[in-house]
Structure 1
Amino acid sequence: MLADLKVALVGNPNTGKSTLFNLLTGLNQKIGNFPGITVDKKTGFCKLPSGKSAEIVDLPGTYSLYPKSKDESIVFQVLADKNNSSHPDVIVLVADSTNLRRNLLLFSQVADLGIPMLLALNMADMAKKEGISIDIDKLAQRLGVQVVNISARKGEGLPALKQAIAQITSLATQTSSIDAKSFAPEAVAAIKQKIATDNDYYALQVLHQHEHLAFFTDKEQEEIEAIEIGNGFDTVKLQGEETVARYRHLSKVLSDVVVDTGAKKKFTLTDKIDAILTHKVFGFIIFFFILFFIFNAIFSWSSVPMDMIEGGFAWLTEKGHEHLPAGVLTDLLLDGVVAGLGGIVIFIPQIAILFALISILEDTGYMARVTFMMDKIMRKFGLSGKSVVPMIGGIACAVPSIMSARNIESWKDRIITIMVTPLVSCSARLPVYTLLISLVVPDEKVWGVFNLQGLTLMAMYFISIIAAVLVALVFKFIIKAKERSYFIMELPVYRMPRWNNVLFTMYEKSKTFVLEAGKVIIAISIILWVMSTYGPSKRFEAIDAKYDHIEANSKDTVQLATLERDRAAEKLENSYAGLLGQTIEPMIKPLGYDWKIGIALITSFAAREAFVGTMATIYSVEGAEDDGGETRLRDKIGAAKDPATGLPIFTFATAFSLMLFYAFAMQCMSTVAIVYRETKSWKWPMIQLVYMTAMAYVAALIAYQFLK
């Protein structure tokens, strides 16, 4: 879709920029990558009052044009390069009305680049509530741009903002805030001539950041470097001088523009809440109970919809076999695709609940407090306080969490965070945990309050987090680095969650889970069904001859009733999948696993959640129903017996051995790929793959041998 106008949203973190983006674009958006880099690029489209369409680009949040992280460096790269596909015609700088002075530092830098822009004062409702009054007409006059009051959370001011975007022209003349040339006259003049620009501040920024600008050739980079050295250009010193000059200018701009009558009361409520939630003792106790509430809710709230989905797929399979013509295609569709997909769709309620509750914690501002609380503890284990964000995000998915580690300034802290984040139990492990817990842990209350299954699930998550922290401690002594890390983070005020945003997150994450996992599951299910249905012809012929002979000569009605099930089971054991499972069975037997579980371990190396789909496919192919006529996956797995001992396959020891294996094993090709992309080396993902697989095997071995 081609748009008439390209609009970039720029702003500090926590100013509501992403909320405004969602409001402007609705569902008409997509996520990709900026050209040549792995930083997320969010784009969408909206209609303007003039009838024109605008492409909206949500640039990463940054406090300044001088980057402190990989994400922040994108902002100037996009604004500096006119040939960049994301380079805007118009900039909307989103500022927090309750902290205008700090937000206008970035505004003044961007304005000096000379790109047409306007200022959107977000959280206008919060500013009014806190006793902050802003004279937007006087502010607009002094800045030389249109200023619009909005409240993205409430959807207020959106028509006025769209109208302002439609009216902006290339003749917009925002006033310059500093004399950029005065900081390094000779160097700026030389760069202006070199790159053919008449913008002093653009030339100054090129001197500061040229190494981040890929559109300069190697020769041009060398020439710019020579100008720097030749003029004694001191980047750190000049950045400090520029910041002081800008704040001096902003003090004049905001004089009698902002009146704060509630300055003393501004953070009173937030401070009172923080005194409890970030307390060095009570804060951690509260966090523990919040986590327990989440895991208890995952089991308790999802049980009814999960039963409905499970029953629906069982009914669909049963009716399919009744009404569709018998044959290979019907078996493939029902016992392969439908069974495999049903094993994933059933977990949508749990995934939706998990993401909804995490979204609420982020929206209210509580997640930022968790990061703050954990900083001192994390540093003892070689991690930064900012490592908490990727690690907590890892509860949802390791891929975006590893990408979010770009915000960590220290190379050592960032590498360690990347290396341990996949250990944190993600949503892909959730189907495995819940299936196994429901098999071996009774659905009972402890002390009349705590759900035993919820406690077990929380224990699995705590085990994974403790493992991640301990492994980080090991890497702290292995990986060497000279630079020291630091932790700077702004704590937002507490706010009510945006329920529309929570619902949108539930929908998007559930859809992504089903579509992304579904592609893998369907592909694996089809391949697995073929491998489970067919085998070496001589073996299958021998099995058919054996059971045909029994059928022809036996008068035992009980034996005849189970004949087809026994035939299917023996064929599965001698199929290509069965032979593959039996090949690795000697290696996994000490862990308590049979060859069927072995097949699931192999298929789930593509994606962990494939375990459930694989088991569903195997038990559908094997035949199906037990004596009670049950067709549901949990019933089939629970009824599975070891042919040698006659005992259940999935005992307490086996289930916990499996959960620990999945807790530690690197069974996610997407994670391997993203670690390679982020580190630009196969060294780190290979180390990760080896150490996590070794941890998984040893932990599962100890658990089974100890519990059996």
Structure 2
Amino acid sequence: MSYITETKKDLQQIALVGVPNVGKSTVFNHLTGLNQKVGNYPGVTVDKKIGYFKVSSDKKIKILDLPGTYSIFPRSEDEQVVFRVLNGFEKEGLPDAVLAVADTVNLERSLFFITQIMDLGIPVALVLNMEDLAEAHGIEVNTYQLYKQLGIPVVTSSARNKKGINAIEDTIRQNQFEKAPTFLQSGEIIPEKLIGDVKSLLGYELDYQALLAIKFVDEPNLLPQDKADVLKELVLENGIDIQNIQIQESNLRYKKIQSILDKCITRKDVRKIEITRKLDQVFLHRVWGYALFATLLFLIFQAIFSWASIPMDLIDLFFVEAGSKIRELLPAGALTDLVAEGLIPGIGGVAIFIPQIALLFGFLALLEDSGYMSRAVFLTDRIMRPFGLNGKSVVPLISGMACAIPAIMATRNIGNRKDRLITILVAPFMSCSARLPIYIILIGLVVPDQRFWIFNLQGLALMCMYLLGIAAALFSAVLMKLFIKIKDNGYLVVELPSYRMPRLKDVGLTMFEKSKTFVLEAGKVILAISVVLWVLASYGPADKMEQAEASVVLPENPTEEAMSDYENKVASKKLEASYAGILGKTIEPVIKPLGYDWKIGIALITSFAAREVFVSTIATLYSIGDEEESATIQDRLKKEVNSTTGQPVFNRATGFSLLIFYAFAMQCMSTIAVVYRETKGWKWPLVQTVYMTVLAYVSALVVYQLLS
């Protein structure tokens, strides 16, 4: 229940806050349902989740779901967002009120952050969530006593079971939010005179605002430069130790919180064995913990790979049929070709990734909601540290074996900026499913189909390609750890929550949100580049295109097989004469040392749209119909001879050179688009592309020269 009901100004925006794993997202989903959207805060990659709570038929209130954080002292990017919003630095201005969600089982941990918000003078209401777990732990909270001690309304809930949701909704409808009395006197930490000087300089009303300004005087872009310079002088004059401010505040705040909880909480003897502790004895075991984690990731990867294949095939078939239908319905011409061969495949190139993205984030949501994800992060942190990564890098890297796009998006859980950036930059080294058709074709050309003991040589070669990708990712991470100069704390703070049954509704909403974000944001870039690549491959200088078509003689006996062969040859000649073909001829001197001719050069260019396009491109270039089986493609490619040297085009040296090139080169334009979105600029996508291209080129060159 709530205790204060006085009339106040109408609410326009409420900030929903809490430490991680307190059920904040569950509360948000109950309040807003599907009436929510996801964007990004300006200048950062943290998701901005906005929903709307319907107060009446003609009124709704904006709910801003802020990232989970342990305090208002910003360390990671998501915590900086919380700091900026609660201090009114974002364009939306200061929220009208704060709905603070706390874990009843670990109330001390939650109240540290909540009392900081109280000292900022924002009206607050407190939700004590996970009431069912508190009962299981023998914890009872005297909510009226807690209300008297804090001076803010208190409601209890078990949001996962929808218990207490009505009370939370009533709190919002009746505007039952209160400005709390000052919880911690800033004068206990810094001199009163300095507080007054800072308030006068910056126009602040509250002492705690002045304390925060001093604490973050060295942070860029928080204050105008002229005022920041004056503030720095005041700090120096008073001999303030900025690092010590946070320590003093933490000690004083926790001491007062503990004093309050001693009056408000009673604990009973609970003889029941806690399942969380029993499970952790297995899941956090030095041996079995890692074995179970590896098994779980393997199963998730297999599920993503297997379950996504059917919907992806259906999506692919749908867009192929859509392109054919457009050709039937619209008159022949450039516009029809653009729609059927450019726009529709471009949209299909975006949509085809949705099943993998939805499944990946669905599994991540299940692990997160169950409480296991925090254990996985804790387990792997020690292993990943020497490579410049941390425990939260493991899941994105493993999921990169399915697709780099959802893997890069999954790095948002990494709070440390440097670790997150390194993970983004090395994730494309993991061999994705799109590389698999290339590996199969090329391994079939250069590796004999023989057995070594019980192992098939071609299977071993395929496994080695995946291991090579992992090695490249870890090696590159070490290099980037040395060269990327981002100052950020390298420690990991992670909460180990109680195990819970995941809520399928929340998992479904996560899958929907992440898929929608990908389609609306990264999809724009992917579609644009797809159309550009189509134009380059479909058009060329008019005279050269005409000459190319005229150079192929019509068959005297126009059977279906002969005409199909004729059309393939025309397509190959026109592709050679197109702008893409001209580009292929242009880059041929550059790729010739790798053992590649201009046709392979075109395949390198077109496969930038999607790696698996390499197979269909070489099939077209070498006059092989798209309907041929893989074995037939391999047989035909084995017979191809270089007109200059008289040697097979796809010999052992060229084949292994291509394998190495595709193992290390940037995967596709979709990956670059997502990296651009996640890093908010072109700097890191360009650095990543140049680094991977140079590494791929040099490695392929060495392999070709050694095997020639």
Does residue 74 in structure 1 map to residue 81 in structure 2? yes
- For residues 494-549 of structure 1, the C-alpha deviation after alignment (integer angstroms, 9 at most, x for no partner) is 2222212222233333344445554344433433333333323333333444445x
Give TM-score, length-normalised by structure 1: 0.81
Give 2:510's aligned amino acid: T
For 1:111, the equivalent position in structure 2 comes to 118
Matched-pair contact (CA < 8 Å) for 1:423–1:663: no
Over 3 Å counting, the alpha-carbon distance change for 1:431 and 1:298 in structure 2 is same
Aligned to 1:54: 61
Secondary structure in structure 2 of the residue aligned to 1:148: strand
Structure 2 distance, partners of 1:163, 1:189, is: 39
Q: Which letter does structure 1 place at the counterpart of 2:148?
A: Q
CA distance in 2: counterparts of 1:41 and 1:490, whole angstroms: 23
Contact 2:15 2:99 in 1 (8 A): yes
Give 1:374's match in structure 2, choosing from 358, 371, 380: 380
Match of 1:422 in 2: 425
Residue 577 in 1 paired to residue 583 in 2?
Answer: no
CA distance in 2, matches of 1:534, 1:375: 51
Aligned AA for 1:252?
A: S
Out of 360-369 and 456-465, give the one that drifted further: 456-465
Bigger drift between 71-80 and 309-318 goes to 309-318
Which residue number in structure 2 is paired with residue 359 of structure 1? 365
| Aligned 1:303-322 pairs, distance under 5 A | 303-322=309-328
What percentage of residue pairs aligned between the two structures are identical?
A: 41
Matches of 1:544 and 1:149, distance apart in 2: 76
> 1:378-393 residue pairs with structure 2 within 5 A?
378-385=384-391, 388=394
Identify if the C-alpha distance between structure 1 residues 173 and 538 changes in structure 2 by more than 3 Å, giving closer, same or farther: closer
Aligned counterparts, 1:186-585, within 5 A: 186-212=193-219, 214=221, 216-261=223-268, 268-322=274-328, 324-385=330-391, 388=394, 397=406, 400=409, 405=414, 407-408=415-416, 414-415=417-418, 418-425=421-428, 430=432, 432-436=434-438, 463-476=468-481, 485-516=490-521, 518-547=523-552, 550-551=554-555, 559=562, 562-585=565-588
1:14 is paired with a residue whose SS is coil
- Counterparts of 2:356 and 2:657 in 1: how far apart (Å)? 24
AA of the residue aligned to 1:153: R
Q: Counterpart of 1:244 in structure 2: which amino acid?
A: N
Q: Structure 1: which amino acid aligns with 2:338?
A: L
Amino acid at match of 1:123: M
- Is the partner of 2:99 in helix, strand or coil? strand
- Counterpart contact for 2:408–2:424, Cα < 8 Å: no
SS of residue in 2 equivalent to 1:160? helix
Give the aligned partner of residue 98 of structure 1: 105
Q: Which runs of 5+ in 2 are unaligned?
A: 1-9, 445-450, 643-647
Deviations 1:130-170 (A, max 9, x none): 33222222222322111122233334322321221232367
Residue identity in the other structure for 1:133: E
Distance 2:635 2:53 in 1: 55
107, 131, 152: which is aligned to 2:159?
A: 152
Which whole-Å CA distance do the structure 1 matches of 2:512 and 2:633 have between them?
Answer: 30
Q: 1:280-323, CA deviations, whole angstroms, 9 ceiling, x for partnerless residues?
A: 22222222222221222233323433443444444444455455
Once the two structures are superposed, what CA deviation does each residue of 1:378-415 show, in whole Å capped at 9, x if it has no partner? 2333444565577568665465566655x32xxxxx54
Secondary structure (helix, strand or coil) at the match of 2:289 reads helix
The amino acid that maps onto 1:423 is V
Question: 2:164 & 2:465 partners in 1: Cα distance?
Answer: 46
Q: Distance in 1 between matches of 2:513 and 2:106?
A: 31
Q: Is 1:91–1:118's contact at 8 Å kept on the other side of the alignment?
A: yes
Q: Is the 8 A contact 1:5 1:54 kept in 2?
A: yes
CA contact (8 A) 1:421 1:468 kept: no
> Distance between the aligned counterparts of 1:540 and 1:89, measured in 2?
65
> SS state of the match for residue 216, structure 2?
helix
What is the alpha-carbon distance in structure 1 between the residues aligned to residue 529 and residue 197 of structure 2?
Answer: 61
Give the Cα–Cα distance (whole angstroms) in 2 for the partners of residues 616 and 286 of structure 1: 40
Closer, same or farther: CA 312–603 of 1 in aligned 2, 3 Å? closer
Amino acid at match of 2:421: I
In structure 1, what is the equivalent of residue 183 of structure 2? 177
Distance in 1, matches of 2:288 and 2:693, equals 37
C-alpha distance in structure 2 between counterparts of 1:284 and 1:653, whole Å: 34
Letter of the 1:575 counterpart: S
- For 1:555 and 1:457, how far apart are their aligned partners in 2? 42
Aligned-residue offset at 1:64:
1.8
Which residue identity lines up with residue 532 of structure 1 in the other structure?
A
Asked if the contact 1:123/1:150 (under 8 Å) is kept, the reply is: yes
Return the letter of the residue paired with 1:690.
Answer: V
Q: Could you say if the C-alpha distance between residues 557 and 24 of structure 1 is closer, same or farther in structure 2, counting changes exceeding 3 Å?
A: closer
1:179/1:458 CA distance change after superposition, 3 Å: farther
Q: Do the aligned residues in 1 keep the contact of 2:155 with 2:167 (CA within 8 Å)? A: yes
Per-residue CA deviation, residues 438-462 of structure 1 (Å, 9 max, x unaligned), is 76799xxx9xxx9999999987665
- Matched residue SS, 2:496: coil
TM-score (norm 2): 0.81
In the other structure, the counterpart of 2:17 is 10
Counterpart contact for 1:423–1:465, Cα < 8 Å: no
Which whole-Å CA distance do the structure 1 matches of 2:83 and 2:594 have between them?
Answer: 53
The answer to whether the 8 A contact 2:624-2:633 is kept is: no
**CA deviation vs aligned residue, 1:340-399 (integer Å, no higher than 9, x gap):** 444554444334333322332232232222221222222333444565577568665465
Partner of 1:411: none
1:141 corresponds in structure 2 to 148
Would the aligned equivalents of 2:217 and 2:228 in 1 still touch at CA under 8 Å?
A: yes
CA separation of 1:154/1:86 partners in 2, compared to 1, >3 Å: closer, same or farther?
A: farther
Are residues 440 and 357 of structure 1, via their aligned partners in 2, closer, same or farther at CA, if it must alter by over 3 Å? farther
User: How many angstroms apart in 2 are the aligned matches of 1:327 and 1:705?
Assistant: 47
Do the aligned partners of residues 99 and 392 (structure 1) sit closer, same or farther apart at CA in structure 2, a change above 3 Å counting? farther
Provide the C-alpha distance between the structure 1 equivalents of 2:146 and 2:70, rounded to a whole number of angstroms. 21
Structure 2: distance between partners of 1:327 and 1:592: 39
Q: Deviations over 1:587-617 (max 9, x none)?
A: 4456676645534543666xxx544568779
Tell me, yes or no, if structure 1 residue 30 matches structure 2 residue 34.
Answer: no
Please give the per-residue CA displacement for 1:604-654, whole angstroms capped at 9, x wherever unaligned: 66xxx544568779979999955xxx399x899779747834999799858
2:52 counterpart SS class: strand
Return closer, same or farther for 1:653/1:197 CA change in 2, 3 Å cut-off: closer
Q: Aligned-residue CA RMSD in angstroms? A: 4.4
Kindly state the Cα deviation for residue 91 of structure 1 after the two structures are TM-superposed. Answer: 0.8
Question: Residue 484 and residue 346 in structure 1: after superposition, are their counterparts in 2 closer, same or farther (change >3 A)?
Answer: closer
Residues 186 and 356 (structure 1 numbering): CA distance in 2 closer, same or farther, change over 3 Å? same
Alignment-derived partner of residue 690 in structure 1? 690
Secondary structure in 2 aligned to 1:493? coil
CA distance in 2, matches of 1:215, 1:658: 45
CA distance 1:525–1:667, shift in 2 (3 Å)? closer
3-state SS of the aligned residue for 1:56?
A: strand
